Amino acid sequence: MSEQLITYIAQPGGHLSGKIRVPGDKSISHRSIMLGSLSEGTMTISGFLQGEDSLATLKAFRAMGVQIQGPDDQGKVIINGVGMHGLKKPDAPLDLGNSGTSMRLLTGLLSAQGFDITLAGDSSLSSRPMKRVTDPVIQMGADIESNDSDGKQGTAPLNIHSDAETQLKGIDYILPMASAQVKSCVLLAGLYAQGKTCVTEPAPTRDHTERMLQGFGYNLDIKKLDQQRSKICLQGGGKLIAGNIDVPSDISSAAFFMVGASIAEGSDITLNHVGINPTRTGIINILKLMGADITLSNEKEVGGEPVADIRIRHAQLKGIHIPEDQVPLAIDEFPAISIAAACAQGQTILTGAEELRVKESDRIQAMIDGLQILGIDCEGTKDGLIINGGEFGSGTVDSLGDHRIAMSFAMAALKAKGAITIKDCANVNTSFPGFITLARSSGLQVNDKKAVS
């Protein structure tokens, strides 16, 4: 089957300015479809992200019998909830494309629906580890088969076997590493389990699942064990009541413009209505530690999620040792942060980020390879990066089909001596449809070139 190949060509120089709004938050968009479908009543979502990942979740629930209208041009979606036990067996495996969030959360949510179901994805998703979510759900009593040909990762497709006799049991699970996806998977399985399900996380991770469950009327017991650890518990057998959701702009998408404006002289840009959930603000905290000029205004809460307008002006950045307690709060933003580090004075060191090696690509290696091609002195470690600030030359880098790698290197052109060509950029549409148009309108000199393989 032919595929469209997209290459970005970013010309050197320029700066970012104006007031823009980046697309809706991907994490919240996913969860709004999932919980809205299981709720009782009709709900409206505003600002839904029309990227391929979140649309894969929407299509999956349509395939399981949920009536969903939209999204329209403004990201409005209307869901007629079917209740906790109203999903129907789809006619075919659920194709989740490139969306790891969809697969990992649905592994828990669909583990006791009373019908067999297969979760499948593209070649990239099918190479990513799923054992971290299947293991705890199997401990709860689920019957899940994965591809164990590599002996340890348990990759997709995932075959979930469930019938009328399937009954999960609540467990007290201690996360081996900080992961919002694993935490959410276990909690969603816990909705269908007998007794109490608890998850203890070793460090704070994004808490959109907990906020939204509570917003839909589900009772959670959340206890802070110490400065880092929290324990989240819920009783199975409850119900969800539909409530409208206004999805804020995605701070992970805003991160590219935050870095671009920080590194490019003359930049002054404002990003409107960005979600500033405290479990997601690592990008702001880290850039400020590096000396970035970032101010927040118009702070308010929308649907249980804090939002603000974020203004970023150019500033000379300095290298730092990134605090490990910030790593889970910025796990998706490290490709962009790596570009900031390459433009900073001195050395930046990242540790405690081994999860970056099992994202859409090995993001540690992908960034090191690209930065070295562009003339930056850097190296990868088992769990992070060491980057010495320098100057970008020109060259061709491979995004490896990873949307965040592609957009990060596009922003690097703002401080490059020559053009940067970025290969394999089609997957930018998974999280940021319209990236090229918005980036160009802000001052980035970038074009996309399409071909068919």
Q: Write the CB contacts of 54 (distance below 8 Å, at least 6 apart in sequence).
A: 26, 29, 30, 33, 48, 99
Tell me, letter by letter, the H, E, C secondary structure of the chain: CCCEEEEEEECCCCCCEEEECCCECHHHHHHHHHHHHHCECEEEEECCCCCHHHHHHHHHHHHCCCEEECCCCCCCEEEECCCCCCCCCCCCCEECCCCHHHHHHHHHHCCCCCCCEEEECCCCHHHCCCHHHHHHHHHCCCEEEEECCCCCCCEEEEEEECCCCCCEECCEEECCCCCHHHHHHHHHHHCCEECEEEEEECCCCCCHHHHHHHHCCCCCEEEECCCCCEEEEEECCCCCECCCEECCECHHHHHHHHHHHHHCCCCEEEEEEEECCCCCCHHHHHHHHCCCEEEEEEEEEECCEEEEEEEEECCCCECCECCHHHCHHHHHHHHHHHHHHHHCECEEEECCCHHHHHCCCCHHHHHHHHHHHCCCEEEEECCEEEEECCCECCEEEECCCCHHHHHHHHHHHHHECCCEEEECCHHHHHCCCCHHHHHHHHCCCEEEEEEEC
> How, if at all, do strands 395-398 and 420-423 pair?
parallel
Question: Which of 412, 400, 397 has its CA nearest to residue 446?
Answer: 412
* Cis, peptide link before residue 157, omega less than 30° from 0: yes
Query: Catalytic residue at 398?
Result: no
Q: Which amino acid is at 101?
A: T
Contact criterion met (CB below 8 Å) for 448 and 7: yes
Q: How far apart are CA 190 and CA 168, in angstroms?
A: 8
Q: Given 53, 207, 250, 332, which residue is catalytic?
A: 332
* Cis, peptide link before residue 248, omega less than 30° from 0: no
Residues recognised as catalytic: 332
